[in-house]
């Protein structure tokens, strides 16, 4: 047996040319599956997990695996640029997202089974909601439905543990970095939400580069009941002041949003905050509000490239264009009297794309821009090939970096959200 695919519950394990061996997922575990679990031991380990320090999670995963009748479990977290899967066990080597079985599990958010000298390794994706965190490598002497289900349970448990602990752990943050981070980027990253958020009706995902040297670009997205809020910002300059401008803008937007303000209120609060606290700085941006029940999309464009609507594998030209409005944060007579909020109704499976100008203006050694057509064509082709939105953007931002030989002249940020009410 070389490499196997494991698909869902009631699994079949594919063994290349050897055919398909059905693996049952029985309601009652059998003694032949080593199914007996010491529940008191497992309970003690789960209680211990609540107070475990992040660097202790690696050893804890092994003990939980043993309590579930498995052999070992190793945690790998994806790095900031989603190129490597980095083990929490510092004695182990990182794995490639692009060229490993572990990376396949991460990219596809599906289990992957490979042969090992003394059994098999199940690579389980670690996912928090819609956010991909990394993978869990579960080693077991043999695989059946019971062990597969327990491997999945273990992955769910440690995804929740990692999510709860990384909010306060400098060690976890440092472990997923491969370069030194500049101060403006450190400040901005403290404000950024997860790369991917969503519900049963909508998903939003975003990426930004340069990962360790961003200054003025940022994204935000949040789900409030059945409403998805998204925002992309681009502040003037590329220094600590531009990062501060973006940080204040994000804080003002969240403050008003959490207070129940509508889209016009949110933009107005950002205008006021920047005019009051940073009167010499401004930013461009697009703020959106999607009602995930009705598909009604509202947006405000403040001096930014217009959002793009992708429908049925093509860009609907001009669908989300709107009359120009000034950037956010202009004071005095330059400030707009009121912001115009525009509205349209999406169709199921529509995608809306927000981006900063650093994306399309990235130039290669010959001065050729990456360009809007190449940008949108990449997304359409990748989506048509069945790639998940988060994977589409991961591949796209790497293509943009490769185009400019990893030396972006400006921040590049992309946010993509989709409406999919039929999944409800």
pLDDT-derived band at 406 (thresholds 50, 70, 90) equals: confident
pLDDT digits (tens, 9 = 90+) for 76-124: 999 999 999 999 999 999 999 999 999 999 999 999 999 998 899 999 9
Say yes or no to pLDDT of 298 above 90. yes
pLDDT-derived band at 293 (thresholds 50, 70, 90) equals: very high
- What is the structure's pLDDT at 199? 87
Claim to verify: residue 140 and residue 247 sit in the same structural domain: no
Claim to verify: residue 78 and residue 212 sit in the same structural domain: no
Claim to verify: residue 329 and residue 372 sit in the same structural domain: yes
Mention every residue, 6+ apart, whose C-beta is less than 8 A from residue 232: 206, 217, 218, 219, 220, 285, 286, 304, 354, 355, 356, 413, 415
85: which strand partners?
78, 95
3-class secondary-structure state, position 183: helix
Say yes or no to pLDDT of 296 above 90. yes
Pick the range with the lowest mean pLDDT from 37-51, 56-70, 286-300: 37-51
**Which stretches of 156-295 are assigned E, i.e. beta strand?**
196-198, 202-209, 217-224, 227-235, 283-291
Determine phi and psi for 327, rounding to 5 degrees: -60, 170
- What is the structure's pLDDT at 424? 52
Say yes or no to pLDDT of 33 above 90. no
Claim to verify: residue 209 and residue 152 sit in the same structural domain: no
Claim to verify: residue 294 and residue 408 sit in the same structural domain: yes
Last residue of a domain, one of 172, 195, 215: 172
Task: Report if residue 13 sits inside a domain.
Answer: no
Task: Report if residue 18 sits inside a domain.
Answer: no
Last residue of a domain, one of 172, 194, 223: 172
Q: What is the DSSP letter of 15?
A: -
Name the residue range of residue 372's domain. 181-419
Task: Report if residue 412 sits inside a domain.
Answer: yes
DSSP run (H or E) holding 158:
helix 145-166
- What is the structure's pLDDT at 366? 83
Please give the mean pLDDT across all residues of the chain.
Answer: 88
What is the percentage of the chain residues whose pLDDT exceeds 90? Answer: 74
Tally of structural domains, the chain: 2
Claim to verify: residue 207 and residue 87 sit in the same structural domain: no
CATH at residue 136? 3.30.450.40
Claim to verify: residue 225 and residue 129 sit in the same structural domain: no
Task: Report if residue 121 sits inside a domain.
Answer: yes
Distance (Å, whole) CA 246 – CA 270: 10
CATH at residue 249? 3.60.40.10
Claim to verify: residue 265 and residue 406 sit in the same structural domain: yes
Task: Report if residue 9 sits inside a domain.
Answer: no
Claim to verify: residue 168 and residue 227 sit in the same structural domain: no
Taking alpha carbons only, the member of 188, 284, 192 closest to residue 244 is 188
Task: Report if residue 12 sits inside a domain.
Answer: no
Claim to verify: residue 198 and residue 313 sit in the same structural domain: yes
Say yes or no to pLDDT of 132 above 70. yes
Claim to verify: residue 161 and residue 227 sit in the same structural domain: no
pLDDT digits (tens, 9 = 90+) for 175-213: 999 999 999 999 999 999 999 999 889 999 999 999 999
Last residue of a domain, one of 172, 191, 215: 172
Say yes or no to pLDDT of 16 above 60. no
Claim to verify: residue 111 and residue 214 sit in the same structural domain: no
Q: Where are the alpha helices (DSSP H) in 183-314?
A: 183-189, 240-258, 263-277
Task: Report if residue 25 sits inside a domain.
Answer: no
What is the percentage of the chain residues whose pLDDT exceeds 70? Answer: 90
Cα R_g (the chain), whole angstroms: 23
Task: Report if residue 31 sits inside a domain.
Answer: no
Question: Tokens 């525009």 — which residue?
Answer: 342
Say yes or no to pLDDT of 12 above 50. no
pLDDT digits (tens, 9 = 90+) for 156-169: 999 999 999 998 89
Say yes or no to pLDDT of 41 above 60. yes
pLDDT digits (tens, 9 = 90+) for 368-382: 989 999 999 999 999
Distance (Å, whole) CA 402 – CA 406: 6
- What is the structure's pLDDT at 14? 35
First vs last Cα of the chain: how many Å apart? 38
């Amino acid at each position: 047996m070389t490499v196997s695919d494991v698909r869902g519950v009631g699994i079949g394990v594919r063994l290349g040319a050897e055919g398909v061996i059905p693996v049952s997922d029985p309601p009652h575990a059998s003694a032949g599956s080593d199914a007996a679990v010491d529940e008191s031991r497992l309970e003690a380990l789960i209680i211990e997990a609540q107070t475990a320090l992040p660097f202790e999670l690696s050893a804890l995963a092994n003990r939980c695996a043993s309590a579930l009748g498995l052999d070992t479990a190793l945690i790998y977290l994806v790095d900031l640029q989603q190129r490597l899967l980095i083990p929490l066990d510092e004695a182990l080597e990182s794995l490639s997202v692009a060229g490993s079985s572990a990376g396949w599990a991460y990219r596809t958010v599906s289990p992957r089974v490979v042969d090992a000298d003394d059994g098999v390794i199940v690579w389980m994706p670690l996912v928090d909601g819609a956010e991909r965190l990394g993978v869990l490598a579960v080693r077991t002497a043999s695989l059946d439905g019971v062990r597969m289900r327990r491997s999945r349970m273990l992955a769910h448990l440690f995804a929740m543990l990692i999510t709860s602990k990384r909010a306060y752990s400098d060690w976890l943050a440092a472990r997923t970095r491969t370069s030194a981070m500049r101060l403006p980027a450190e400040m901005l990253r403290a404000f950024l939400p997860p790369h991917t958020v969503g519900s049963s009706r909508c998903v939003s995902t975003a990426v930004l580069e340069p990962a360790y040297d961003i200054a003025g670009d940022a994204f935000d997205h949040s789900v409030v009941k059945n409403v998805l809020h998204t925002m992309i910002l681009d502040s003037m300059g590329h220094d600590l002041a531009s990062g501060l401008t973006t940080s204040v803008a994000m804080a003002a937007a969240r403050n008003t949003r959490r207070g129940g303000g509508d889209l016009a209120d949110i933009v107005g609060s950002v205008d006021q905050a920047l005019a009051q606290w940073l009167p010499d700085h401004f930013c461009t941006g697009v703020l959106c509000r999607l009602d995930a029940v009705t598909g009604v999309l509202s947006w405000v464009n403040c001096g930014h490239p217009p959002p793009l609507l992708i429908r049925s594998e093509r860009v609907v030209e001009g669908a989300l264009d709107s009359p120009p409005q000034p950037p956010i944060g202009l004071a005095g007579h330059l400030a707009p009297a009121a912001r115009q909020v525009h509205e349209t109704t999406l169709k199921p499976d529509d995608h809306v794309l927000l981006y900063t100008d650093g994306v399309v203006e990235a130039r290669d050694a010959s001065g050729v821009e990456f360009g809007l057509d190449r940008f949108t064509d990449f997304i359409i082709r990748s989506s048509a090939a069945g790639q998940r939105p988060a994977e589409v953007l991961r591949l796209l931002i790497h293509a943009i970096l490769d185009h400019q030989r990893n030396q972006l002249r400006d921040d590049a940020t992309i946010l993509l959200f989709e409406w999919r009410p039929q999944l409800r």
